[in-house]
Structure 1
Amino acid sequence: MGNSCPKGKQYAIDECTNPTRTVTSSVRVENREDTMVSVKTASPVPKDKIFEVMRLIRAKSVCAPVKIGDVIIEGVFGTNIVATKNII
């Protein structure tokens, strides 16, 4: 396939004109000692907004139980921050 793949061409155009990334991190679980829940953006965010997304994630904490897919923070640059781990 190489450079004839249409997905690759579109990716290269997007990467040059509007680079985006999926952000992964973790959020503190208040009612569990030394426990964090892993989270990620449900869809990619603009690369220049990553530090703002991380600032929001760092300020957030949750209480267990948490299920995979639970929305941890809603409406962050057009997407949500969702849990990627179950905490019982």
Structure 2
Amino acid sequence: MTIQSKDGKITSIIGNACPKGIKYAKGEFINPLRILPTTVKVIGGELPLVSVKTKKAIPKRLLLKAMVEIADIEVEAPVKIGQVIKDDLIGTGVSLVATRNIKRVDSNLRS
């Protein structure tokens, strides 16, 4: 698919296989969006990190800003799939959610 533009405006879109392609291409040109997958620190868990992702796509230009905010997040175990880790990530209105379960480990147990 090819987008032709002039002065920052789309003049034509060619090569799309269906009407959805035009909508997608316009979105990618005007305001590209991405789901952000990453990890967050876990306190007291069987693993030190839990995988997370944004529940919806956020503007691509905000990915680095989101990662800076996410870097400071720590979550207490246990963690459940789908658990909201952070509401309204960087003011986007989009939640950051866990994508796996992490069990709590009792640190008082001795081997």
- TM-score after normalising by structure 2: 0.73
Cα distance, 1:4 vs. partner? 3.8
Residue 41 of structure 1 corresponds to: 54
Pairing 1:56–2:92 present: no
Q: Distance in 1 between matches of 2:100 and 2:17?
A: 38
- Residue-by-residue CA offset, 1:43-87 (whole Å, 9 max, x unaligned): 000111001110111100101111111000001212000000111
Greater share of helix: 1
- Residue-by-residue CA offset, 1:14-70 (whole Å, 9 max, x unaligned): 000011111010001011365210000000001110011101111001011111110
Residue 8 of structure 1 corresponds to: 21
Corresponding pairs, count: 87
Letter of the structure 2 residue corresponding to residue 50 of structure 1:
L
Q: 1:66-85 maps to which residues of 2 (within 5 A)?
A: 66-76=79-89, 77-85=92-100
- TM-score after normalising by structure 1: 0.91
- Contact 2:54/2:97 (CA < 8 Å) preserved in 1? yes
Q: Distance in 2 between matches of 1:32 and 1:57?
A: 18
Gaps of 5+ in 2: 1-14, 104-111
Pairing 1:27–2:40 present: yes
Alignment RMSD: 1.4
Quick one: structure 1 residues 42 and 16, their matched pair in 2 at CA, closer, same or farther if it must change by over 3 Å?
same
Cα distance, 1:6 vs. partner? 1.7
Which of structure 1's runs of 4+ aligned residues deviate more than 6 A?
A: none
User: Which protein has the larger Cα radius of gyration, Structure 1 or Structure 2?
Assistant: 2
Identity %: 45
